[in-house]
Structure 1
């Protein structure tokens, strides 16, 4: 670790020494207080822009079609069902799954970490009966999870009606209500 020097009033510092001091102060601040040099916290929000058909009694990964927030490029359209952490630390993960009106079966959702086995990789889960009134069925999931750089987050869905059901998308300007999405915000180191 570098030692910060002491200066007199008559000292004139060259630019390289001032830059080295700035770098050391920034390193100490980040190590002590987190990365306060960023203008925003790491976060992401991916969502569906059209319906996704879900076969009955089949665990299915939700395939994301776009993002609302992703300043760090955590979602890659080449692997559209996965979000990859680019910042180690504690994360608040949240998801919503929306199904239309239906009188039969159950609906289930799971946030999964570093794998797609619903039995081995689930970190948040919800299961409820289908709804045939109002807005249909909404599943809300959330958890706090410590992630490392490169950790993968997935959203799984399942339904047990007698036929395939659509996981719905939200309105173009209102992806929070009526749609299916996955989001996360970094809380700290």
Structure 2
């Protein structure tokens, strides 16, 4: 490149013309690169998820809560249950937060109530999951990695809600407290 530049300067004796040509070429290449990046990043970006529920559909006078359903057939220790409940709570919270669901704000204003209940086995948990989906209540099931007390890929705890108390109770109302 330097030899080409030297030849141009020697033959033309006009450094300003050469500089202007190089600046123009650089600007053209930069514009093409910016345009290409804009097309690429503009089309591959995922659209923001829409909220599951509209703020106008939420009843500010109603109570909102979350229920954590713990499988009793796994015989987990108290510490393991506590950790799995934390995973479930955060899992459903992240799911709703990504959607910018207004139910999180209403639940927060209610004091973020959480109730821990017993589920006898995995079949019962999956039945509750199906009922919650049919009702429109958000859920999250923790699948354990199996490094400590339970087998790998065990479903340990299911979060139901946060959602209005009436709908959550219609799903989990017959379960016993932990």
TM-score bracket, shorter-length normalisation: under 0.3
Larger Rg: 2
Structure with more of its chain in helix, by fraction: 2
Structure with more of its chain in strand, by fraction: 1
Question: Under a length normalisation based on structure 1, what TM-score does the superposition of the two structures give?
Answer: 0.25
Question: Under a length normalisation based on structure 2, what TM-score does the superposition of the two structures give?
Answer: 0.26
